[in-house]
């Protein structure tokens, strides 16, 4: 097991990184590589990695092109932080928007419920009025039918009474007797005069047969 060129302690395989220029072995922590940055290094980058000592001997442009682990790691961490901040901001914004939308929907639902309740009340009131009108109309129809029936009965009764009156009038006319040319006498009694006249014509007339008598 090789020792780290920096701390001179044995280096395990899982924490070992080798310089591609001088072949020296290092702990990744000893060359300022965090565990997360070390795990993210691809095989290609590990095979091209140069230790700090070799980097200091190389031209600046070559060192930047060959080994940009630290700077890329910092940039990637910054990008991750930016992504996390953006995600958190998006989540918070979406939560606020969703809460606002839910509040608006609840308000609209409450308004709709109120309108439905008012509509139900007005509909029930209208239906009650219609039912009352129907009941009143049925009562009027019943009363009208009864009045028509009574009117028919009264017309029949009037017709019967009229017929009876006509019959009585006719019978009374048949029994009437008019006598003309009798001399006027203040002391005369009309029933006696009528009976005497009946005797003259040989008609047996009694006082009870005379229903009424008038002198004109």
Which residue among 25, 45, 67 closes a domain? 67
Per-residue tokens: 79:
């990008």
SS (H, E, C) 63-129: HHHHCCHHHHHHHHHHHHHHHHHHHHHHHHHHHHHHHHHHHHHHHHHHHHHHHHHHHHHHHHHHHHH
Per-residue tokens: 162:
């009229």
Predicted local distance difference test score (pLDDT) of residue 17: 92
pLDDT digits (tens, 9 = 90+) for 164-207: 887 776 766 666 677 777 777 777 777 787 788 788 878 787 77
pTM above 0.75, yes or no: no
Which residue among 50, 67, 84 closes a domain? 67
pLDDT digits (tens, 9 = 90+) for 121-144: 776 656 777 777 788 878 878 888
149 is a domain residue: no
Cα dist. 196→183, 192, 204 in Å?
14, 6, 10
Tell me how far apart the alpha carbons of residues 89 and 132 are, in angstroms, rounded to a whole number.
64
Per-residue tokens: 81:
């932080």
96 is a domain residue: no
Look up the domain containing 198 and give its range: 178-209
Which residue among 46, 67, 88 closes a domain? 67
Largest CA distance in the chain: 189
If we measure between CA atoms, which residue out of 186, 208, 188, 205 comes closest to residue 196? 205
Total count of domains within the chain = 2
**Considering Cα of 138, then 143, then 144, then 146, what sign does the dihedral take?**
positive
63 is a domain residue: yes
31 is a domain residue: yes
pLDDT digits (tens, 9 = 90+) for 45-71: 888 889 988 888 876 554 444 455 555
């Amino acid at each position: 097991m090789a020792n780290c060129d920096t701390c001179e302690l044995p280096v395990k395989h899982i924490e070992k990184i080798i310089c591609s220029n001088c072949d020296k072995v290092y702990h990744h922590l000893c060359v300022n590589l965090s565990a997360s940055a070390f795990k993210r290094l691809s095989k290609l980058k590990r095979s091209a990695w140069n230790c700090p000592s070799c980097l200091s001997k190389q031209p600046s442009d070559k060192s930047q092109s060959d080994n940009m682990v630290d700077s890329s790691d910092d940039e990637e961490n910054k990008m991750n932080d930016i992504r996390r901040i953006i995600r958190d901001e998006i989540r918070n914004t979406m939560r606020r928007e969703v809460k606002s939308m839910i509040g608006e929907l609840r308000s609209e639902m409450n308004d709709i419920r109120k309108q439905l309740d008012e509509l139900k009340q007005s509909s029930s009131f209208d239906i009650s009025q219609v039912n009352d009108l129907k009941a009143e109309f049925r009562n009027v129809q019943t009363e009208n039918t009864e009045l028509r029936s009574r009117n028919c009965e009264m017309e029949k009764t009037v017709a019967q009474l009229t017929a009876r009156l006509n019959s009585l009038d006719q019978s009374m006319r048949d029994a009437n007797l008019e006598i003309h040319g009798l001399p006027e006498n203040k002391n005369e009694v009309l029933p006696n005069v009528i009976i005497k006249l009946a005797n003259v014509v040989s008609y047996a007339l009694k006082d009870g047969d005379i229903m009424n008598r008038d002198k004109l």
